[in-house]
Amino acid sequence: MTNVTVIGSQWGDEGKGKIVDWLSSRADTVVRFQGGHNAGHTLVIDGTEYKLSLLPSGIVRKGKMSVIGNGVVVDPNALLDEIDRVAKKGVEISPENLKLADNAHLILPVHQAVDKAFEAARGKSSIGTTGRGIGPTYEDKVARRGIRVCDLRDKDLLKEKVERLMVHHNALLKGLGAEEITPESVMEGLNKISDEILSFACPVWKILDEAKAKGQRILFEGAQGFMLDVDHGTYPFVTSSNTVSAQAATGSGVGPKTAGYVLGITKAYTTRVGSGPFPTELEDNTGQRLGERGHEFGTVTGRKRRCGWFDAVLVRQAIKTGGIDGIALTKLDVLDGFEEIKICTGYKLDGETLDYFPAGQAEQARVEPIYETIDGWSDTTYGARSWKDLPAAAIKYVRRVEELIEAPVALLSTSPERDDTILVHDPFQ
Ligand code: GDP
Ligand code: IMO
Ligand code: MG
């Protein structure tokens, strides 16, 4: 039985939530394996919108198991608020269908304070983080001073760990001129949520092992995107986790072979939220038009997303480095009505031509895109549910994208609605 791992192949917000929700009808279990509530995944089902940040996008389907893996950093208050918000829309969420890894690390209010204080201290060179405390929590994890879900079970040990953690963070907060936080207030916050959080906690690797033994299908749901990966992305303008498919294994406690078919979710143009290089960014009317047609505003922070043409060099790099087998091309409808559409096929850097995105920060900022121009289409693709409903020029665009990125299109999305999706080949087979 094949599993599927979904990852973003650009800078996030490619439409992963919509595609995971669509694919989850074919899966038994949906697993988040990295990131946290910096993610914002929007699903639209028969006109009802669901905004998810920590809950796996399979949660809205009855009878599916949702798993938050050990690689996710979990803000317990944000998780409980989200459960409450989504449950109010009629979605059933209980310890029966939601499992939280007991070795996942917790985001505490202090992580958010440190995230914001460091961003402020960086001034003009800030990363533009979501301010959710993602980076500082992953830092604590690697530095071996983090607080995990399972620590909530032992109050004495928890108190000791929190005291040690706050010695570290209060020194930082003091140095940055921010207000210090007492260990007592941290403990008070944790005591309030610990019983409810622990009701979802378990060794999720066992749940996944049992699912595998029963021959069930697992769908791994990545957050963010390839270019935000801490190793492969536009460092330091990245998030603090690995967003590539290999992380599905370490971030949930399954072996590397379990990832199965890797589906890269790919927007038909490019967007980015936050700072950092973006070679095909359009700061003109065309960029404005893409943003308006695509409603490019962040789900989490409401920030306007930067927009630009499709960058085939970046996506090809994501495919090679991220082990992507095929893509889901989303938001094709946003390109409807453009007379001409451009695709970046290479870069110019200091008089040389590059067929890859270099690693250096200054080089990344300096590369100039080389464009190929393709005819647009005046008909609409919005809501198309079959290949034959697409204008010939739109098909030509999709075929050219496949050629340039050296990977096939498995799915095509033509609106935010769940069912406005064209299946070209089934990633589960
Ligand atoms: P994610 O973070 O990758 O899950 O993506 P987001 O949900 O943050 O952003 C994608 C946005 O585009 C959401 O508002 C979706 O409802 C919307 N969307 C997804 N697919 C399509 C599509 O094919 N066409 C259009 N017009 N909107 C889409
Ligand atoms: P989804 O899952 C787009 C960006 C932030 C910032 C950088 C670091 O919805 O695709 P962080 O708070 O993670 O330390 O911020 O990463 N970022 C995202 N951009 N989509 C996301 O998630 C993102 N999650 C983080 O804007 O530039
Ligand atoms: Mg998003």
> Ligand 2 within 6 A of 18 CB?
no
Closest residue CA from atom 14 of ligand 1 = 42
> Ligand 2 within 6 A of 323 CB?
no
Q: Which residue has the higher pLDDT, 343 or 301?
A: 343
Mean pLDDT of the chain: 96
**Domain end point (choices 163, 197, 231):** 197
Looking from the CA of residue 276, the nearest atom of ligand 2 is 27
Return the best residue to mutate from 53, 224, 226 for the ligand 2 pocket (most ligand atoms within 8 A of CB). 224
Q: Is residue 270 part of a domain?
A: yes
DSSP assignment of 104-161, as one string? Answer: PEEP-HHHHHHHHHHHHHHGGG-----SSSHHHHHHHHHTT---BGGGGG-HHHHHHH
Closest residue CA from atom 10 of ligand 1 = 15
Indicate which ligand has the atom closest to the C-alpha of 39: 2
Beta-bridge partners for 31: 67, 220
Count of domains in the chain?
Answer: 3
* Domain boundaries, position 113: 105-197
Residue 256 and residue 284 in one domain: no
CA 53 / ligand 2 centre spacing (Å): 11
Return the best residue to mutate from 331, 336, 423 for the ligand 1 pocket (most ligand atoms within 8 A of CB). 331
334-392 pLDDT per residue, tens: 999 999 999 999 999 999 999 999 999 999 999 999 999 999 999 999 999 999 999 99
Residue 429: the pLDDT is 83
Q: Is residue 376 part of a domain?
A: yes
**Domain end point (choices 215, 238, 261):** 261
Instruction: Say yes or no to pLDDT of 273 above 70.
Output: yes
Q: Is residue 398 part of a domain?
A: yes
3-18 pLDDT per residue, tens: 999 999 999 999 999 9
Cα–Cα distance measured from residue 14 to residue 276, given in angstroms and rounded to the nearest whole number? 18
Residue 233 and residue 281 in one domain: no
Residue 235 and residue 356 in one domain: no
Beta-bridge partners for 421: 413
CATH of the domain at 190: 1.10.300.10
Residue 410 and residue 336 in one domain: yes
Residue 165 and residue 39 in one domain: no
Closest residue CA from atom 6 of ligand 1 = 13
Answer for the pair 384, 268: CB distance below 8 angstroms, yes or no: no
Tokens of 322: 């991220």
Residue 1: the pLDDT is 52
* CB-CB neighbours of 288 under 10 Å: 14
Please identify which residue in the block is written with the tokens 């070209």: 424
Q: Is residue 339 part of a domain?
A: yes
Please state the pTM of the whole predicted model: 0.97
CATH of the domain at 270: 3.90.170.10
165-179 pLDDT per residue, tens: 999 999 999 999 999
